[in-house]
Structure 1
């Protein structure tokens, strides 16, 4: 494919493929060790970071989560990190690195474990606890509310309660439910309502039923999470959900999964008549509208690739706390060599403020 054929090649992005090769050939990822990040506080001067990928564990939540063997994808969840979560440690991590605000969300395995009534209660209890933290620590926390999907009716009720009563900053979804990915017709009423409300939608990867326990020695969080994010993105594009609901703003975790690496395949796929009819403004337009966080991708290769595909305005700071530390993400981003201080300011705070303007003060 030539540069002229590349639909995504705009100013500063025409050398995507050669640039990615150069990144890979240089320092492979440039991720400092965690051990080197636990001492002196790491702060990028002038950046009051906003972390859009920061998990919470409500009281009693873990007791509601069945054993790993009973929950699809739960074996990939480092339960120890969730068991040890505290509000105090979240704030300690934030303060060490100059993170002003973290937007809280429930990690996988999520809310729904086969019983709609129990899922509705767990979603409500989790959201009310999150709202209590937002109220108790003004300016320090925001919240992406949990839904009891695949229970669509219960999810519509929780959207109304979370946004109208609890004043949540947005809604959190998982990339798949069972063997249905976001964009599937089963979730159409939920997306229609989120679009009507012009909602901010945060997505978190999980493991679809199809792809559990494929390799005994390879945990799903190594490969499947990134892949599930890519599948959800592809489904949202292919189904026309993205173009049909232009007022809904979507954040994809972990730099968009494997999409940046697969961009050449995405371009060819999007040219087919079956897909292009659902992308009336083109693939580039939709990819440039999505948002992408830096959680577990704060290295030169991942960030270098992402910035060749989408503009900086679409990149948001995220840490995946408590599975990874806030400290290492700030250190990695500031030292990866991809961003200067001005760009770090946009990614660390400015872009999030465009979506979450209440945190300006």
Structure 2
């Protein structure tokens, strides 16, 4: 499952309002209005018209994209007049929210902010902080010629941190304000990369990541030229700010970067080396790149690259690994509980729950307590996946296995689930797991009320959309007898507690 974090939409109502607002704003240039008119001629599903949304969904299916995180196109609502900026932000966000509401299983969104007005931006964040499928805020690399790394925007970053802790940046298309770029018509081909590079370095030098440590910064286009400049920035850039808490390269490696690069293998290789594949997120710049290649090719070129299969998989399908290092026990508890309740709501009473975010013993306890609180019947699996947390609790695989043993000793007191650990016996585990479920089904199918529906229900739960594993399940139309259930093979599987008797 691929989640495209860099996908634009240009709502018709916003384009019309933008055209009127720009004409009303003093100093509006013909070039800006010409850019608006170009959108109407764009050869791709760009607007929020129903037919274009359907065409977008068809392209997503073809490309294997499960979800797009929608953001406004490059018509940024940055106006000098605060009321006008605030009104434009609301028009844009409400229009995109309507698209998301129609297909919440396929779309999420980054809201736009009425900058440079920090107070109005905070108000807009507060308005949307509890809205479904809003996962962060989009911020331009600059606002009316002023860097967003300026301390003026500290209240905005504080509000983002308290709401979603995700900031997605995008170039404004102003060529970094340089005549050396704009006079040659290089605003898009070169200027955007310069904007990305400057923005990332400005954020690192400003201390924003230190003041708002929970915020996850997503810089587009592989961060421009950042991957090529880390050593140079440490040697020459850091000396300009001796008060920096850490080298610039250290801070820049903590950001996330999307994979929009027009199929550039050197950019892909450099970013993997500089940042690591766990810091790369699938992105397309939808639908702009479709001027040059099909939507599906934006992701298949990574699959076809010479990177190791594990690295390619981590980039394209590993968003859960990217988020796992910063997930705390409380979030594990909330996610596990929400997933279990969703399963019950869909008619499932027995599940296999794999926890792959065992960053600490507290993470394991939190997940177990959530399974118990839900009341679902579960086989709980202690995962040994290395989530690479920023401050590792387990110094070695041995320490993690020791916690597995500790978990087994306390499991009976805190959970009614089953915990298992597979020691290389995957096939045996599958047979033993399903045979136990079949045995339990013999005694529960006739006694436990459930929905009479034999297909998988609610396949795209909001609570699990960040997990890059397709939800699945099986329901039987008839009850199997003991003779039909295979022998309970448990070799190679350590069962740490009994199956829940909770119905």
| TM-score above 0.5, yes or no | yes
Q: Which runs of 5+ in 1 are unaligned?
A: 1-47
Q: Secondary structure at the match of 2:249?
A: helix
Aligned equivalents of 1:213 and 1:132: distance in 2?
41
- Mapped pair 1:288 → 2:253: yes
- Offset at 1:90? 1.6
Aligned equivalents of 1:352 and 1:256: distance in 2?
21
The more displaced of 300-309 and 59-68 is 59-68
- Offset at 1:166? 4.8
Say whether the 8 Å CA contact 1:55–1:320 is kept in structure 2: yes
**Per-residue CA distance 1:91-145 (angstroms, 9 max, x = gap):** 1211111111110001212112433222212211222222222222132111011
The more displaced of 312-321 and 197-206 is 197-206
Say whether the 8 Å CA contact 1:292–1:316 is kept in structure 2: yes
Kindly tell me: are residues 65 and 336 of structure 1, through their superposed partners in 2, closer, same or farther at Cα, counting changes over 3 Å?
Answer: farther
- Offset at 1:221? 0.5
> Which residue of the partner structure matches residue 341 of structure 1?
309
Q: Which runs of 5+ in 2 are unaligned?
A: 23-27, 47-51, 324-461, 472-503
Aligned equivalents of 1:350 and 1:65: distance in 2?
37
> Which residue of the partner structure matches residue 169 of structure 2?
203
- Mapped pair 1:81 → 2:42: yes
> Which residue of the partner structure matches residue 273 of structure 2?
308
- Mapped pair 1:225 → 2:185: no
- Offset at 1:331? 2.6
Kindly tell me: are residues 76 and 336 of structure 1, through their superposed partners in 2, closer, same or farther at Cα, counting changes over 3 Å?
Answer: farther
**Per-residue CA distance 1:223-252 (angstroms, 9 max, x = gap):** 111101111111111111122211110000
The more displaced of 187-196 and 212-221 is 212-221
Aligned equivalents of 1:357 and 1:295: distance in 2?
27
> Which residue of the partner structure matches residue 373 of structure 2?
none
Kindly tell me: are residues 271 and 121 of structure 1, through their superposed partners in 2, closer, same or farther at Cα, counting changes over 3 Å?
Answer: closer
Aligned equivalents of 1:168 and 1:110: distance in 2?
18
- Mapped pair 1:332 → 2:301: yes
Aligned equivalents of 2:54 and 2:233: distance in 1?
43
Kindly tell me: are residues 215 and 57 of structure 1, through their superposed partners in 2, closer, same or farther at Cα, counting changes over 3 Å?
Answer: closer
**Per-residue CA distance 1:56-81 (angstroms, 9 max, x = gap):** 11132222334783566975995333
Say whether the 8 Å CA contact 1:73–1:109 is kept in structure 2: no
Kindly tell me: are residues 171 and 353 of structure 1, through their superposed partners in 2, closer, same or farther at Cα, counting changes over 3 Å?
Answer: farther
Aligned equivalents of 2:255 and 2:76: distance in 1?
23
> Which residue of the partner structure matches residue 69 of structure 1?
29
Q: Secondary structure at the match of 1:301?
A: helix
- Mapped pair 1:173 → 2:139: yes
> Which residue of the partner structure matches residue 127 of structure 2?
161
Aligned equivalents of 2:264 and 2:33: distance in 1?
26
> Which residue of the partner structure matches residue 282 of structure 2?
317
Say whether the 8 Å CA contact 2:64–2:296 is kept in structure 1: no
Q: Which has the higher contact order (CA 8 A, sep 6+)?
A: 1
Aligned-pair Cα RMSD in Å: 2.7
**Per-residue CA distance 1:173-231 (angstroms, 9 max, x = gap):** 11101221121122121112223345111111123472368444423011111101111
Q: Secondary structure at the match of 1:206?
A: coil
Q: Calculate the TM-score normalised by the size of structure 1.
A: 0.78
- Offset at 1:346? 1.7
Aligned length: 311
> Which residue of the partner structure matches residue 78 of structure 2?
112
Aligned equivalents of 1:228 and 1:175: distance in 2?
6
Say whether the 8 Å CA contact 1:294–1:319 is kept in structure 2: yes
